[in-house]
Structure 1
Amino acid sequence: MAKNDIVGIKKISMYVPQGIHDSKYIAEKSGIPRDVIENKFGILKKHKAAPNEQVSDMAVKAALKAIEGIDPMDLDLVVYCGSEYKDYYLFNLAARVQDVIGAKNANAFEIHSLCSAGVLSLNVLKSMMLSNPDINRVLLVTSSKETDLINYENQRSRFMFNFGDGAAAALLVKGYECNKILSTHMITDGDFAYDVASYGIGSISYYKYSVLDYDLRNLDVRNPKSMKERLDPVTLDNFCDVIEKSVEKSGYRTEDIDFIAPIFMKRSILNHILDRFNLTEENSFVLENYGHCQSADAYISILEAQKLNRIKKGDLVVMLGAGTGYTWAATTVKWG
């Protein structure tokens, strides 16, 4: 692979707010026993942003960590791939980050694919960088404050009780020969497109309500039983399929996988995936102290795994994501 055909991840950073919703808090608010929250939902604690800490504030904090020691004027592009729940409705958060961090020479835009965007954006941006001689340094940022949208009393939305607040950023550099971004594979099943939404916001509801009450602003699930019946038979296979195909498209075999950086999932599902590839929890990271920080999950997994020496030079790392709608995605990275 020629140097000009390489895009590497020079640095990954993260930010999580100080507030905490632990399993005791969630149990009290939801009426679900604490041991169920911890063992079935897979949550020990997660972070909660303060009311005056906005989605862009967290994104900027992660971004500044990712570009420490680098002149922001050298960035060519700033891209946001996080939650669509942002400071304002119909608001360009990428442009806000570009301005606040001082990346005045950079263009900015957003990629939205819900919780799969952090993984698949790597391949989108790699392609852009390799086809554009004037794009050499890209800052990818994701942030989420979706705890605001969760009503613990709404049992229809209980599969989203794991949402936690936080942000991550990755600095991508053309010609950087470490942490090389390889290939991505995705599976989308649009049958799930209407299953999860904030149903009171958008063109369908715009003319229905003169005043939008709190519940209509929250995330909700239209028919949890139906969604579960359709999702359970396919989700494990789809996770494994995108992992396998991402690795194979990258020129490797599944036997070469050293680490899977997952989206938040309870330990039992993660272990099923790891078993499929003859891996153990030492080859991954359980996000039980973070919850589901939307598209930031795989990046947090990598950072925490590095602290535990679970990722080393030369490892084949697969970043795994999934977003309602429903899209499963995996991107393979050759580490070190």
Structure 2
Amino acid sequence: MDNIGIMGLGVYIPDNYIYADEIAKRTNIPQWVIEEKFGILKKPIPGPNDTTSFMGIQAAKDALSDANIDPKDIDLVIWNGAQHKDYPCWLASLKVAYEIGATNAWGFDMEAMCGSMMVGIETAKSLMMNNDSLNTVLLVSGYRNGDLINYSVPETSFMFDLGAGGAAMILKKNLNKNIVLESSFKGDGSFSEQCVIEVGGTKKWPMQPEDTTKYYFTVNDAEKFKANLNEKTMPNFYWVIRDSLKKSGYDEKDIGYLAILHFKRSAHKAVLQELGLKENQTTYLENYGHLGQNDQVLSMKLAIKDGKLKSGDLVVMVGAGLGFVWAATTVKWGTFK
């Protein structure tokens, strides 16, 4: 039976950082709260050359090096990064393919906000399993939605951890290594218009000159949104994790490593407690903040470097995308016959 394996992982982190003390000044939130509650010691921010596609391209090159393959071997490039890209209405996937020399690949762009890495894996897996001509697929992401955060809007403080970076993953059919098992997703459209950028879309078009000063996320009913988050967020995280494991033939006791998004420190600790995991079975991204759909790949790269992720480990990748979609994917790490 065909299997899909992770052949290479890549990340790109800009050289520029903003630190907790500066975030505290911009938000009028005490530094200790930024560090201890928000869980941000520092986070990368884009430099002058760090367009969304550029960061994805650099991550793709890193993934190619990790996989040790020729870019001409790639059959398909899926951009599963942010839709806040170099240009509106534009395919970043084809830009990436061109820049890395993937001359035999076609491409398309998709997004499930910060759940996009797991959705991208599931999309690629489904396409590869049902198409004999697709053997090697590059998932690539760039992210700088931190551009769209206004630190003077307290209702969006849960997004004050947004940073910038790139991530990439190369999937190979019948690799018999780092095997992608099953994924799980849960959506709730009641969030769909509770936190949005109110200008720049077709609901308010054409843009007016003053709209350029309003191009950032806002919450239209803060109390309702907060109640919705408190009621649904954590139960849905647990549900997709357990469902992904169950469909893969495992349960939470089998988790070797949890590649989880960055969110507030108390929520991170709550997940570990709920699943019976130790601190060394995950990585808290306090030196990176939340890099959107890049968090899971970054977490795995750091874990490999630090010896936390080893052959034979069962990895669960988990995240959530604003809107809201919760997503988890289970991977059996290591080489198998």
TM-score (norm 1): 0.96
Partner of 1:53: 50
Q: Is the 8 A contact 1:201 1:216 kept in 2?
A: no
**Aligned-pair distance for 1:151?**
1.4
What RMSD, in angstroms, separates the aligned Cα atoms of the two structures? Answer: 1.1
Partner of 1:44: 41
Structure 2 residue 218 is matched with structure 1 residue 213:
no
Query: What is the aligned length?
Result: 332
**Aligned-pair distance for 1:223?**
2.2
Partner Cα distance (1:142, 1:277) in 2? 29
- Runs of 4+ aligned residues of structure 1 deviating over 6 Å after TM superposition are none
Q: Is the 8 A contact 1:200 1:212 kept in 2?
A: no
Quick one: which of 32, 35, 38 aligns to 1:35? 32
User: What residue ranges of structure 1 are gaps of 5+ in the alignment?
Assistant: none
CA spacing shift, 1:225–1:261, aligned 2, 3 Å:
same
The one-letter code matched in structure 2 to 1:88 is: Y
Partner of 1:190: 189
Partner Cα distance (1:214, 1:28) in 2? 24
Partner of 1:159: 158
Partner Cα distance (1:214, 1:154) in 2? 16
Partner Cα distance (1:234, 1:104) in 2? 44
Partner Cα distance (2:212, 2:205) in 1? 15
Partner Cα distance (1:52, 1:333) in 2? 34
**Aligned-pair distance for 1:70?**
1.8
**Aligned-pair distance for 1:307?**
1.8
**Aligned-pair distance for 1:222?**
2.0
The one-letter code matched in structure 2 to 1:235 is: T
SS of the residue corresponding to residue 113 of structure 1 reads coil
CA offset digits 1:52-99 (Å, max 9, x no partner)? 321011010000111123211111000111111000111111111011
Partner of 1:232: 230
CA offset digits 1:15-37 (Å, max 9, x no partner)? 01011011011001111110011
Structure 2 residue 175 is matched with structure 1 residue 169:
no
Partner Cα distance (1:320, 1:140) in 2? 16
**Aligned-pair distance for 1:48?**
0.6
User: What residue ranges of structure 2 are gaps of 5+ in the alignment?
Assistant: none
Structure 2 residue 9 is matched with structure 1 residue 9:
no
Quick one: which of 270, 279, 282 aligns to 1:281? 279
Structure 2 residue 333 is matched with structure 1 residue 331:
no
Identity %: 38
The one-letter code matched in structure 2 to 1:65 is: D
Further displaced range: 223-232 or 41-50: 223-232
Equivalent residue runs for 1:96-111 within 5 Å: 96-111=95-110
Partner Cα distance (2:74, 2:159) in 1? 35
Partner Cα distance (2:173, 2:130) in 1? 11
